[in-house]
Amino acid sequence: MDKVLETSEKISSMEIRGAGRIATAAAASLRDFSKAMQTESLEDFNLQMEKAADILLKTRPTAVSLSNAIRMVMKYRTEDLPSARLAVVLNANRFIENSEKALERIGQIGSRRIRDGDTVLTHCNSLAAISVISTAHKSGKKIKVIATESRPRFQGITTIGMLDKLGIETELIVDSAVRSVMNEVDLVVVGADVITANGTLVNKIGTAQIALCAHEARTSFMVAAETYKFSPRTILGELVTIEEREAKEVLPDISKYSHVRVRNPAFDVTPHQYIDLISTEVGAIPPEMSYMIIRERLGWEMEEDISD
Ligand code: RI2
């Protein structure tokens, strides 16, 4: 279990971060745990797998990618120990492989919306959004990217590093400069932590303000997301939990204040009315079609939840 705890700690502390990356890290961790587990009993195997899944699930509360990945890996047959072990390995490998393929496809589909000469604004650090941007660049379109810092964790610095390596012309701005530059922007592309049944987006704090600005300036707003970022449980009425992180991420020394409380929500909620399209591996869809994606791609999980 040590390795599972190690991965969990890395996810909680955000050493491993990004909705897709935490999902694949959790899948790989369950796979490796199942391979290394010393047991002769299927019952014990199941118990230990459940325990590991639970530890990983509790690391970050918002991104549905984590629970979708864990559920996909944990859906194994339990006839005998060797087949259970093998099924976990195959499920995890399939999830990781599909997730890599999805990123490529999202890039191909989403990049068609970027025209030669466009300026694209992105927020935080999303591999799905970067796939859209890098695919447009690789296809020969001359583009410029404006990246926000994304306080308090500065994921924007990771983004500019990635774009720089790809040779893409990039400008870094502070989060509050978004409105000042929006009139120069042709398209906003962001990732997703959760997309609900009605097409609402939950993504890095600041996304909703950017969407509002884009809407007011008539700038297109695209979400790039694998289908496992859609939340089946929202069909059943479940609300998305917004992670509140530690105050010290915002203000390292709060002890010198007596009447100040720091609030540090990690995500916010963007209504579907502000989203022009969602680029997924199965196509570019309007947010209103999210319900269909959940039914078609993640339907099995819904049935499971209903019977809970
Ligand atoms: P990909 C990140 O969350 C950001 O909110 C980003 O937009 C989203 O995950 C999706 O990232 P955090 O882990 O899966 O930085 O597209 O809190 O890489």
- pTM comes to 0.94
Percent of the chain with pLDDT over 90: 91
> What are the pLDDT digits (tens) for 102-117?
999 999 999 999 999 9
H or E segment and range at residue 278: strand 277-280
Q: What distance in angstroms lies between residue 281's CA and the mean position of ligand 1's atoms? A: 17
Mean residue pLDDT of the chain comes to 94
Q: Which atom of ligand 1 is nearest to the CA of 203?
A: 5
Residue appearing with tokens 């019952």: 43
> What are the pLDDT digits (tens) for 151-204?
999 999 999 999 999 999 999 999 999 999 999 999 999 999 999 999 999 999
Q: Do the domains spanning 2-102 and 106-307 agree at the CATH topology level?
A: no
Q: What is the pLDDT of residue 308?
A: 46
Q: Is 268 annotated in the active site?
A: no
| Fold (topology level) of 2-102 | Four Helix Bundle (Hemerythrin (Met), subunit A) (1.20.120)
Kindly tell me if the per-residue pLDDT of 28 is higher than 50. yes
Mean local confidence (pLDDT), 11-18: 96
Model confidence at 82, in pLDDT bands (50, 70, 90)?
A: very high
Kindly tell me if the per-residue pLDDT of 303 is higher than 90. no
Kindly tell me if the per-residue pLDDT of 306 is higher than 70. no
Q: What is the pLDDT of residue 304?
A: 57
Superfamily covering domain 106-307: Translation initiation factor eif-2b; domain 2 (3.40.50.10470)
Return the residue whose CA atom lies nearest to atom 5 of ligand 1: 204
Q: How many CA atoms lie within 13 A of 57 on its CB side?
A: 14
Domain ranges of the chain: 2-102, 106-307
Q: Which atom of ligand 1 is nearest to the CA of 103?
A: 16
In sequence order, what are the residues at sequence separation of 6 or more whose Cβ sits closer than 8 angstroms to the Cβ of residue 259? none
Give yes or no for a contact between 46 and 78, defined as CB atoms under 8 angstroms apart: yes
Give yes or no for a contact between 193 and 62, defined as CB atoms under 8 angstroms apart: yes
Alpha helix (H) residue ranges in the chain: 2-12, 19-36, 42-57, 64-74, 81-111, 127-138, 155-165, 178-181, 207-216, 290-306
The residue ranking higher by pLDDT, 295 or 94, is 94
Q: β-strand 277-280 against 220-224: which pairing, if any?
A: parallel
Mean local confidence (pLDDT), 273-286: 97
Distance between CA atoms of residues 241 and 72, nearest Å: 21
Distance between CA atoms of residues 42 and 50, nearest Å: 12
Best residue among 95, 193, 230 to mutate for probing ligand 1's pocket (most ligand atoms within 8 Å of CB) is 193
